[in-house]
Structure 1
């Protein structure tokens, strides 16, 4: 009996203990704490659908406040969650709009490229989703309780701005795909997709010479492009999508981009015009939803897609707010160089091969801006605009320099005699300036900064020098006798090449590794070998056949000698060449402040006896330079970090000088102000 009683007691106590576990749990702490690393905290605070692939903590909090299942809402196909958040009470407009923007983004990212539409008038569901992302982000930024500047330091605003920027990028790409290759008339263009009406607004500013704006051949997100060979990517945070518009095939190079972005050989076509804008343009796109209050913005199906030049427009006014515009200043430049084929074509030009170039071409790195001064770059032998790849990128990456200057670059055939290239470059530059500014009153038409590397430095020096009357002409005629007919013919054909004055538009020049007095390498074994490979264009030889004939007849001292030939560029770089010897003695304009950047390849060699592997110090040095920077480098010194830092220093100094020195000073000295 006792045994049975004991068993019953044990069972009763066990039952009480087991049922008491639930009771005991009630006495545990309701909240427990665990350590969190700074990295985990930042991830929790700033992580969102873009950075982690999961909804942000702010959106999940909004879902919970709305009484919804955050697990179900985290699934992309949970469209019901979007409607529930839209209708539920108890949320602020900032909570609701920011969460809806992210939920729509979650859905937009999962929609396939091709899908079965549920109705003939449903439109592209991807475009609809991206427009909803942008609409709710736009409403959050401009029509919720607080203005954007009141939330300037909040992570949530940065997240929502990123949702908007991505949505504009994707929506613009979808709209572009529908209008590829068409022209924008002066009137607005309308695009209907399902219930949405998208207005394509033409740019506010069209470059001179453009009768109308043409929609690009390609539209690429700048964020999708990465580059090898560029040291830095320069961009500006702000509002809008950073895009690269490929406006047209390059008018000069032989490489055209296929749909995959690779270069394919195409027959070279001579451009009608000797200058053009870089064929890839940086643009910033915006979507603006019609409506003057929150209710109107959330109910509208009308949206305007506008395009802005980030060089010209740093900000825009939207609903009473000054909003900074996003920009990428590197992607368009890098894409142009990557697709250009300059490396192949420049060698074809040097060796006189087909598909080379026979005359200079001037590239504008951005649409012409009358209010920005010009930095004009001229490359060297066997080179192209690729020589300036990091120079131009890093100069334009400097905000102060970018506000003051625009970059122009010459691309010219480096097999030609220096005198011919110099004359043709002058004519091309003059034609471009007259085209853009016929009266010559714009800031872009004065106070230019000239930067030349190697042979481009020699040409740059000629552009700011005086021929000294008949000095070069007399050097050409020395030792020769001509009858009146031949002399007059030579004067007409060659005279313009031998007579020139400093360009009045240039106020500063930077000569980089420039062989002003020639180089021994050009006359040595390597130079002689290279000369045999260089071929001048047949058109040039034919065009100057009569000149060579006249010079041959005038040769008195060398009668019966070798037949005269037209010198090529390497001939002109030989220290014993008559032209380079005569040009070295020409005077630089007193109105031009000039600087030298010189490579010193072997620091063990004394500076006065040093060289950069090709150009000796004694040839690159110029008395009277405002500054001379010696850089431990081989001949391609222009791309080194110290040289670029020096160029930036010079340009900043130039900007400060113009801000502090009275304009009248230049005029008093007889220089153009």
Structure 2
């Protein structure tokens, strides 16, 4: 119990009574305090004592009373000008009592999501009718539902826990209907939105003295409303950003598909899209597309995104899109899936004509993901094709479907909207691990997409003397493609990035000794290093460096560089 509440009990001769009959003590203090001019400060004592009673008995009615007393303490009525000083220690404590009181009062005992519905709730001194405007639950055309309280959640597995302190119950809400779009581009279907719920009373200090109260639940999201008007003051709302992201991770459980996504090349072919955003696109925000590596998933970027979104300039001017793919598939095949996903997304959003910021895309690829990114910013002509065939594509015996697939995969063109690429731990000249016999054995377990299998068989069976594949179509998989001896990786490493595209390298090195001999355990420095980049940063880290603070700081620096180089019309939005 706070000193201020102890003083209230002592001065009113109620300390002994509190120890023997808390409920009667609260009732007596209420009779002496509420509705009495000049005694509004003692509402804090009522709030704290009611919260103790709620904890002692698990009483949702007492928790709700605590929240209402705290709100009346914090918010002067229409006829009162006095308001507690934010420097008063009771002010912050009252905010906590209000927030946690709401969490305990509206959170069902069985831990199901909070129901945002009109309701009548009992109180130790009466009842309150709670209204809800259902229109406020609409978010970008979807109804928000499944509100999970986050104030009392413990989050582990993420390096940094971010919370915007303020007033109200922080929650994580789920848009009904799943994806914002069913084709090409969507907001992640299991993404939880950081949400805030306030129980608001008009003229609360007058109402708290009555037995029948009227209130309303006000729901806001971190993307739309960061603060609220409380009396004569603008008060920030409390949000648990990291907790909401953690709930999304637990519910989506995408990391469980990391190895199945490597072995089953057909895993994502039934998915409505492979490219998802963590929030709807807003005009003026530049896309940052994150591409994971082998036997991995988009959730490996969580720490980086969690940190970057706390940088106001990045949060206001960039948005993050995540690409999922079957990482055991041939690299050129995964690259055309990435290309198609980006083109569909841009078309769906209206393209550069609708928003110039869509023409300033940054690709960030980790490990194999960096090779996919490179395939979108090169103009190889027939260099890639000549590595596997002795004759032009047009002269080989192929079905139209297979010929089209080979043309798309091995004769790529730069995507004009991509202006910057960040390679992280990328095996530009192959990975020595990919050359191990055990790795090749694992590679043989990969099930390739039907289109790839059919095209490769046609190449080998109908044109065997003219292609350089041997008799094993399995050599098309990503494991073989990343071997230092692979014709594909040798050809790709020799092809420069198209002019006008800014290139940055982040290279982890976990070993000591000369840098030229360094390695992250998967990729050697000599493989990841390429000449002619805008910048190169070597960080002391293992291969999975996406959560390394130095790596995240470098990505932040590069994105701010992108923002500084953007036209004023883009940099000024939104």
Q: Structure 2 length as normaliser, TM-score?
A: 0.85
- Give yes or no for the alignment of 1:391 onto 2:313: no
Q: Secondary structure at the match of 1:223?
A: coil
Deviations 1:2-39 (A, max 9, x none): xxxxxxxxxxxxxxxxxxxxxxxxxxxxxxxxxxxxxx
Deviations 1:533-576 (A, max 9, x none): x3124xx2366425522553123347996254561111111223
- Give yes or no for the alignment of 1:422 onto 2:335: yes
Q: Which residue of 2 aligns with 1:109?
A: 55
- Give yes or no for the alignment of 1:87 onto 2:42: no
Change over 3 Å in CA distance of 1:481–1:593 after alignment to 2:
closer
Q: Which residue of 2 aligns with 1:157?
A: 91
Q: Which residue of 2 aligns with 1:215?
A: 145
Q: Which residue of 2 aligns with 1:592?
A: 501
Q: Which residue of 2 aligns with 1:69?
A: 14
Question: How many residues matched?
Answer: 560
Q: Secondary structure at the match of 2:354?
A: coil
- 1:351-430 matches, within 5 Å, as 351-352=263-264, 361-430=274-343
- Give yes or no for the alignment of 1:192 onto 2:124: no
> Within 1, Cα distance between the matches of 2:416 and 2:106?
45
- 1:104-253 matches, within 5 Å, as 104-112=50-58, 126-143=59-76, 151-174=85-108, 189-194=117-122, 195-202=127-134, 204=136, 206-208=138-140, 210=141, 212-216=142-146, 219-227=148-156, 229-245=157-173
> Within 1, Cα distance between the matches of 2:198 and 2:312?
26
User: Is contact 2:195-2:220 (8 Å) kept?
Assistant: yes
1:190: how far off? 2.3
- 1:182-581 matches, within 5 Å, as 189-194=117-122, 195-202=127-134, 204=136, 206-208=138-140, 210=141, 212-216=142-146, 219-227=148-156, 229-245=157-173, 275-277=186-188, 279-292=190-203, 294-296=205-207, 298-299=209-210, 301-352=213-264, 361-437=274-350, 441-442=354-355, 445-463=358-376, 465-475=377-387, 477-479=389-391, 486=398, 488-532=400-444, 534-537=445-448, 540-541=449-450, 544-546=453-455, 548-550=457-459, 552-557=461-466, 562=471, 564-565=473-474, 567-581=476-490
Deviations 1:325-359 (A, max 9, x none): 11222112223334544443211222339978776
Change over 3 Å in CA distance of 1:567–1:515 after alignment to 2:
same
Q: Secondary structure at the match of 2:192?
A: strand
> Within 2, Cα distance between the matches of 1:279 and 1:312?
19
User: Is contact 2:360-2:419 (8 Å) kept?
Assistant: yes
Q: Secondary structure at the match of 2:87?
A: coil
Q: Which residue of 1 aligns with 2:2?
A: 56
Change over 3 Å in CA distance of 1:346–1:190 after alignment to 2:
same
> Within 2, Cα distance between the matches of 1:151 and 1:559?
78
1:69: how far off? 1.4
> Within 2, Cα distance between the matches of 1:388 and 1:608?
28
Report which of the two structures shows the higher radius of gyration computed on alpha carbons.
1
Q: Which residue of 2 aligns with 1:636?
A: 544
> Within 2, Cα distance between the matches of 1:525 and 1:448?
38
Q: Secondary structure at the match of 2:526?
A: helix
Q: Secondary structure at the match of 1:244?
A: strand
Q: Which stretches in structure 1 are left out of the alignment for 5+ residues?
A: 1-54, 113-125, 252-270, 666-673
Change over 3 Å in CA distance of 1:446–1:155 after alignment to 2:
farther
1:586: how far off? 3.4
Change over 3 Å in CA distance of 1:581–1:275 after alignment to 2:
farther
> Within 2, Cα distance between the matches of 1:612 and 1:179?
44
Change over 3 Å in CA distance of 1:164–1:645 after alignment to 2:
same
1:204: how far off? 4.4
Change over 3 Å in CA distance of 1:625–1:647 after alignment to 2:
same
1:290: how far off? 3.7
User: Is contact 2:287-2:321 (8 Å) kept?
Assistant: yes
Larger relative contact order, structure 1 or 2 (CA cutoff 8 Å, min sep 6): 2
User: Is contact 2:192-2:247 (8 Å) kept?
Assistant: no
Q: Secondary structure at the match of 1:62?
A: helix
User: Is contact 1:141-1:147 (8 Å) kept?
Assistant: no
User: Is contact 2:402-2:455 (8 Å) kept?
Assistant: no
User: Is contact 2:198-2:217 (8 Å) kept?
Assistant: yes
1:137: how far off? 1.8
- Give yes or no for the alignment of 1:618 onto 2:549: no
Deviations 1:488-516 (A, max 9, x none): 55432322223433333333322111012
User: Is contact 1:249-1:279 (8 Å) kept?
Assistant: no
- Give yes or no for the alignment of 1:97 onto 2:21: no
> Within 1, Cα distance between the matches of 2:355 and 2:343?
14
CA RMSD of the aligned region, Å? 3.6
